[in-house]
Structure 1
Amino acid sequence: MKSKLNNAAKRSAVSLALTLLTVGLAQNSGGVPETSVSQALKRTITIGGDLKQWDGLPQYKVILSNGVPSVPVGSSGYFSLAYDDSNLYVLGVFDQPRDTVKAVLKSDAGEWWNDDVMELYLRTQPFVSAPADLHFAVNPAGERFKAYTATTDYKSVGRIEDNRWVLELALPLNSATLPAVKAGDVWGLKVGREHQKAAEFPIWPVGGDFSSPNNYGYLAFTEQPATASALATEITAKLGKSLAGSPLESRLSDIGSYSVYYGNQAADVEKLLNYDLAIVQPSTVNAEQLKMLHDNGTRVVAYMTIGELDRNNAAAPTVDPSWILGENKNWGSQFIDASQPGWQKIVADQAAKLKKQGFDGFFLDTLDTADLYPKIAPGLVKIVQDLRATYPDAVIVQNRGFALLNQTAPSIDAVMYESFSSSYNFDKKTYGNVNGDPSFVEALSKRGLKVLALDYAQPEQQDLITRDYQRAKSFGFVPYVSTINLDKVYEANP
């Protein structure tokens, strides 16, 4: 398996690439929590004017960290919201000494997250199965950043004061980016703040990872103030009737164990009989071994890379060089433009060959390429959806690809969360703890999608392996642990 970090999600001074979410999600079996609901009251604001215009509007604290666990950070901050027929108005107020504020980058900066920033994420249709995310980022000086954001066509005013910085935004409604709104409308909302000096990166409503698609709260547009409990009840009802809350069917709903093995030792292949599901390289098992596993009731799915080109891929000579986007130095493979029809045909041909060999389905790897090259995301989604349409009874497992998961979830049976609780450091060549943020998958898990946790450790690291199993099970995920090369079959089940 191969994982990439989303460049847009990297945060200076953050050593944890994945974080643990320890408070309730906006979508959960008990309904939408009151703390995940905000409201915008109808009021016209002249941004850059007297801040007393904001008096009386609800204030929502941005204090829960993206650390492990998610806890209040040391620097306080809040936001408020208002709207009229023309604009959505946003106020952000963040405590920070003037001499520590970093606001030096210009609008076209690529890695703008190295400034102090307020980030705003909106979903104007939160109740569809795959809501689109609109991202806005502004530094304390009011500089609106272009890279990885929806637009800079809105107004912003920043003020850096002695012990805080203040941002006001006016985002046009009924525009190319945002629709018109009326009282009673509900959007999805997430607000983050970056404090570089303190290395604090809190997020409203529940903390967690900035790039998670599933740690949103809600924004209710109201004429008059409403109680949080009333709004939460109303939104819960809407969610229950929507595609975003509808059940997901999984052909793997009954499995309690799985393994991943890419070696070629007959003794290890026999160990796969102990598992309900085996994920293998096509060359791992021969026809006789595949029959043995099937006779045992073990379902077997074959590895396919759809976002990268491996060096040993038989189709490599037919790949147009213009499809190559870059190199994955950890694995010596190449990132591929999955939006190319030629590449999609290569994947389809490989899938047909695997099904003819008798595999039960496909394990789809390298969808995280979309994090590095967002333009190929529609192509990767199309590949997954086309495989489901072509093979309606096949088992399809997706490795990570969290940015695409809301779109692909109806077409797959399980998502693998690689490096959920432990991982391998390619630079240091060591194994160690990580704390993956379950919000990437937990809401979909509660709707029926199976989640497989894959972690990495040496066989003698029993404490690490035990932690991996216990942590995965605590979230209802199915655990497995192996070496980074997946060339051993572990039988540990703490």
Structure 2
Amino acid sequence: MTANFLASIGISWIVIACVVVAILPLSIAWLRPAITACKQVSSTGIGSVAFFYGANVQAEQLESFDTVVLEPDSGFDPCAHTAHCPNWYAYVSVGEVTKQRAYYAKIPKEWFAGRNEAWVSTVVDQTAAGWPGFVVDEIIGPLWERGYRGFFLDTLDSYGLVAKTDMERARQQAGLIAVLHALKARYPQAQLILNRGFEILPHVHDQVAAVAFESLFGRWDQANQRYDDVPDNDREWLLDQARTICERYRLPVISIDYCPPDDDARRCEIALKIAALGLEPYVTDGALQTVGVGSAALEDIARPTKVTFKL
């Protein structure tokens, strides 16, 4: 009855679910010490973040976020939504390319290094001499002309599918660094969010606005088409990376987590856990086709004071 009353006066079901989760005795005292440096930085420039890759972008559903990453092939026009709206970022895959991309046919086949069967995509050899220029001219350039000023650079670790020795990995990493340097040289005002890219951060951290990673608590298994909980050792490793990024580079860190889109309570539970660690949360479905839960939704509920958590 209470939930129906709240909904009747305009409070969304997501907020209701968050309220329920917040007051449940779901103690997260088992988490590692909170990473407090990130939130101080994330409030300047990135703020609350959403990732939406659906074909039909409803801008009004995303206006509560400060930064929104979109699939540029959706046809969304960022220039048509400039008043009281988020910073619109375009999704850009650097390490892989699919045949659906308009620029796929322009890439010389000798630049292709392998396959990612799970996502039906082709891995690009980052050591190809012409690749940095291609990214700038054929991928970023058209998006800049359309009005995008922020770019979410994905698949930065895909070279691991083809590079099997330390020397090969080092060469691929050098190629990625060259791509980022070329991008910022052409568009110095471009704002960049990296998806992982931990190995190249020492060389490019001063050129990026934030770092994201996926699956701190909930993950999507693309190969088996199912949602899973994240193993403790995987979470510990990611938290070590986050701590380094926050403390050494003073950059905001975003965790993109996944759970079924109809489980609002679970989405809020995960978002609250991420936020308690001082990271920027976003919890959505495995294909990022629905508007998920981020810190923008959590601000609508009374959260407990952040404390230092111990295992």
Residue 141 of structure 2: which of 347, 352, 355 is its match?
352
How many residue pairs are counted as aligned between the two chains? 252
Offset, 1:379: 0.4
Q: CA deviation at 1:319?
A: 2.0
In 1, are the aligned partners of 2:216 and 2:257 still within 8 Å (CA)?
Answer: yes
Report deviation, 1:327. Answer: 0.6
Quick check: 1:361–1:395 contact (8 Å CA) kept in 2?
yes
Shift of 1:254: 4.0
Unaligned segments of structure 2, at least 5 residues: 1-29, 164-168, 299-311
Hey, what does 1:259 align to over in structure 2? 50
Post-superposition shift, 1:292?
4.7
The answer for the alignment partner of 2:303 in structure 1 is: none
Render the CA deviation track for 1:178-207: whole Å, top value 9, x for unaligned.
Answer: xxxxxxxxxxxxxxxxxxxxxxxxxxxxxx
> Which structure 1 segments of 5+ residues have no match?
1-19, 30-246
Q: Secondary structure at the match of 1:404?
A: helix
Residues 1:424 and 2:213 are matched in the alignment: no
3-state secondary structure, aligned to 2:92: strand
Shift of residue 334 of structure 1?
0.8
SS in 2 for 1:441: helix
User: Structure 2 CA distance, aligned partners of 1:464 and 1:370?
Assistant: 33
| Structure of higher RCO (CA pairs closer than 8 Å, 6+ residues apart) | 2
Do the aligned partners of residues 382 and 456 (structure 1) sit closer, same or farther apart at CA in structure 2, a change above 3 Å counting?
Answer: same
Pairing of 1:449-468 with structure 2 (within 5 A): 449-468=251-270
How far apart, in 2, do the equivalents of 1:286 and 1:320 lie? 29
Q: Cα–Cα, structure 1 residues 328 and 262, in superposed 2: closer, same or farther, change >3 Å?
A: same
Residue 74 of structure 2 corresponds to residue 273 of structure 1: no
Matches within 5 A, 1:122-161: none
Quote the RMSD (CA, aligned, Å): 2.8
Distance 1:427 1:304, change over 3 A: closer
Taking the aligned partners of 2:109 and 2:124, their CA distance within structure 1 comes to 10
Cα displacement string for residues 117-164 of structure 1 (whole angstroms, at most 9, x for unaligned residues)? xxxxxxxxxxxxxxxxxxxxxxxxxxxxxxxxxxxxxxxxxxxxxxxx
Is 1:337–2:133 an aligned residue pair?
Answer: no
> Is residue 440 of structure 1 aligned with residue 241 of structure 2?
yes
TM-score (norm 1): 0.47
Q: Deviations over 1:270-295 (max 9, x none)?
A: 211111001011133533xx235321
1-side partners of 2:128 and 2:175: how far apart?
7
Partner of 2:89: 301
Q: Verify: 1:316 aligned to 2:104, yes or no.
A: yes
Amino acid aligned to 2:246:
S
Q: For 2:113, which of 308, 322, 325 is the aligned residue?
A: 325
For 1:391 and 1:416, the matched residues in 2 are separated by: 21
Tell me which protein shows more helix as a share of its residues. Answer: 2
**For residue 291 of structure 1, what is the aligned residue in structure 2?**
79
Query: Does 2:286 align with 1:484?
Result: yes
State the partner residue of 1:379.
Answer: 175
Partners of 1:326 and 1:478 lie apart in 2 by 33
SS of the residue corresponding to residue 260 of structure 1 reads strand
Q: CA deviation at 1:427?
A: 3.9
1:399 aligns with 2:195: yes
Shift of 1:398: 0.6
Q: Please report the TM-score for the alignment, with normalisation by the length of structure 2.
A: 0.73
- Deviation of residue 407 (structure 1)? 2.3
Using the TM superposition, give the Cα deviation of residue 486 of structure 1 relative to its aligned residue in structure 2, in angstroms: 1.1
**Partner residue of 1:365?**
154
Q: Secondary structure at the match of 2:278?
A: coil
For residues 51 and 285 of structure 2, the distance between their equivalents in structure 1, rounded to whole angstroms, comes to 10
CA distance in 2, matches of 1:308, 1:461: 31
Letter in 2 for 1:473: A
CA distance in 2 between counterparts of 1:312 and 1:394 reads 25
> Which amino acid letter does the alignment assign opposite residue 365 of structure 1?
D
Structure that is richer in strand per residue: 1
Question: Which protein has the larger Cα radius of gyration, Structure 1 or Structure 2?
Answer: 1
Match of 1:32 in 2: none
Alpha carbons of 1:406 and 1:21: their partners in 2 closer, same or farther (altered >3 Å)?
farther
Partner of 1:229: none
Residue 187 of structure 1: aligned partner: none
Moved over 6 A (4+): 249-252
